[in-house]
């Protein structure tokens, strides 16, 4: 009886094997069968072998689905300034079937907004007028670190310029200079005259709209003591909702269709500042929808921000943002939020920034500190951090409804900074003693000449 049962079970297992095999997942293979040039096929197959991660990202992209290949983005005119000479050696290789002369095409490694504009003209026009694209111009106009040469090339390249963007150039061998590349800074200065890098938010080679919609895309740069938007977002109710329900959001909705209450419950950075919702159109200009320049030393309306005056009316832009907010909130809630924000701005401007700036100016006027450098005397550092650190946190915390940042990381710290600043200023004004000059200043000696493409001279 046991032998009969054993044979029966074996028969069942053998019968099940073919069925199980039919349901086993098969290895996915991307087959190049669609109409594309032989050169394009060579690029894809070569990268498939040598850069499998890059290839896999591309295969999962909308570009691949639309038959957009490497050459559609990277092919250059032979006369273009950014043609990479090193890549021509790929067509002289004997260890791969794709390294033959007939596949030779000029390639630009860095894909620029100008390249992307061939298919995305509206997005590139919007991006070109934004603070993102022009962030290099802004920092060269207002930031003492750059203008006064108070940090060196190594510090800039590893820090500031990673987010703000380098000025790309080729070395004497015709390859991208290591001092400027790799870089996907949001305000990168490209050799074709365009500013920015779309891959700051839509990373290579997936170029995912879902990725750009998540707060982590913005949090790569918007974090830390001076502009902690990602930390502020995390503390806010919006961030708490995202943490709880974010995995259920429909991140892959088509551009322009991502809808509050349908595709997501609580907003992300993109929902408020870029995505289309209700009557408000999608934009790649993050300067829109703003009614205050909260990152500026003295808070002003966007059109009054001298480094990059907005070409719009702050009242119109505030109404746009309100229309975004009212997709989830009542008019009373939204209106009262802006009443509170406006009071916060006036509080910061009148109680902290303006008096501190007047004291700093008096020190300069009486020769108690010098204007040659910056950060090389204590009052300059204290004043800088008052607006660049605590002052920003207070204003941005209030704007994004994060009370801990508005108070404990913001105005509470403003009070301490202001009191220490005032105490030492009054002491030196009374005694007439000059402040010690920190010299030589560590890590100084950075180039004080702005990139020529910015036309700032």
DSSP string over 367-380: TSS-SSSSSSSHHH
Nearest CA-CA partner of 164 in 197, 213, 209: 197
Mean pLDDT of all residues in 407-415: 98
Q: Is residue 370 within 8 Å of 437, Cβ to Cβ? A: yes
Q: What is the DSSP letter of 264?
A: B
pLDDT computed for residue 35 by the predictor:
74
pLDDT tens per residue, range 168-183: 999 999 999 999 999 9
Q: How far apart are CA 58 and CA 145, in angstroms?
A: 39
SS3 98: coil
What's the pLDDT tens digit per position in 135-169?
999 999 999 999 999 999 999 999 999 999 999 99
Phi, psi at residue 405, to the nearest 5°?
A: -75, -35
Query: Where exactly are the structural domains of the chain?
Result: 38-109, 111-207, 333-431
Does the structure show a pLDDT above 90 at 374?
A: yes
Q: Which two tokens stand for residue 160?
A: 């500031």
Per-residue pLDDT of 332-347, as tens digits, reads: 999 999 999 999 999 9
**pLDDT digit string (tens) for 73-102?**
999 999 999 999 999 999 999 999 999 999
What is the average pLDDT value for the chain, to the nearest integer? 93
pLDDT of 186 above 80: yes
pLDDT surpasses 90 at 425: yes
Q: With 50 as the cut, is the pLDDT of residue 17 above it?
A: no
The confidence score (pLDDT) of residue 25 equals: 47
The DSSP result for 119-183, as a single string, is: T-HHHHHHHHTSTTTTHHHHHHHH-HHHHTT-S-HHHIIIIIHHHH--B--B-TTSSB-TTT-S-
């Amino acid at each position: 009886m046991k032998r009969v049962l054993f044979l029966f079970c074996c028969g069942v297992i053998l019968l099940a094997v073919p069925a199980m095999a039919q349901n086993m997942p098969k290895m996915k293979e991307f087959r190049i069968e669609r109409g594309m040039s032989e050169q394009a096929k060579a690029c894809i197959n070569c990268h498939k072998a040598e850069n499998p991660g890059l290839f896999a990202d591309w295969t999962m992209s909308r570009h691949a689905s639309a038959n957009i290949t490497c050459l559609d983005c990277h092919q250059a005119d032979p006369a273009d300034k950014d043609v990479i000479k090193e890549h021509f050696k790929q067509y002289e290789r004997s260890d791969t079937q794709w390294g033959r002369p007939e596949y030779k095409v000029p390639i630009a490694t860095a894909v620029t907004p100008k390249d992307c504009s061939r298919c995305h003209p509206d997005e590139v026009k919007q991006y070109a007028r934004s603070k993102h694209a022009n962030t290099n111009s802004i920092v060269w106009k207002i930031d003492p670190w750059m203008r006064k040469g108070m940090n060196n090339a190594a510090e800039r390249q590893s820090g500031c310029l990673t987010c703000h963007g380098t000025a790309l150039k080729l070395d004497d061998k015709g390859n991208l200079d290591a001092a400027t590349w790799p870089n996907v800074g949001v305000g990168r200065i490209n050799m074709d005259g365009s500013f920015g890098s779309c891959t700051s938010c839509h990373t290579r080679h997936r170029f995912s709209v879902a990725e750009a919609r998540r707060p982590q895309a913005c949090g790569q740069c918007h974090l830390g003591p001076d502009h902690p938007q990602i930390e502020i977002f995390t503390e806010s109710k919006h961030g708490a909702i995202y943490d709880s329900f974010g995995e259920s959001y429909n991140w892959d909705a088509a551009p322009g269709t991502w809808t509050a209450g349908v595709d997501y419950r609580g907003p992300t950075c993109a929902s408020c500042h870029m995505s289309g919702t209700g009557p408000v159109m999608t934009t790649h200009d993050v300067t829109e929808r703003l009614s205050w320049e909260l990152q500026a030393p003295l808070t002003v309306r966007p059109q009054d921000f001298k480094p990059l005056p907005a070409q719009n009316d702050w009242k119109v832009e505030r109404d746009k943002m309100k229309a975004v907010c009212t997709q989830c909130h009542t008019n009373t809630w939204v209106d009262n939020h802006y009443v509170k924000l406006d009071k916060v701005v006036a509080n910061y401007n009148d109680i902290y920034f303006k008096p501190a700036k007047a004291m700093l100016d008096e020190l300069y006027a009486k020769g108690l500190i010098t204007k040659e450098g910056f950060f090389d005397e204590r009052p300059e550092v204290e004043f800088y951090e008052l607006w660049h650190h605590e002052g920003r946190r207070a204003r941005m915390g209030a704007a994004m409804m994060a009370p801990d940042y508005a108070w404990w990381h913001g105005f509470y710290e403003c009070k301490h900074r202001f009191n220490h600043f005032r105490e030492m200023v009054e002491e030196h004004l009374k005694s007439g003693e000059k402040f010690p000059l920190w010299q030589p200043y560590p890590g100084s000696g950075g180039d004080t000449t702005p990139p020529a493409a910015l036309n700032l001279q």
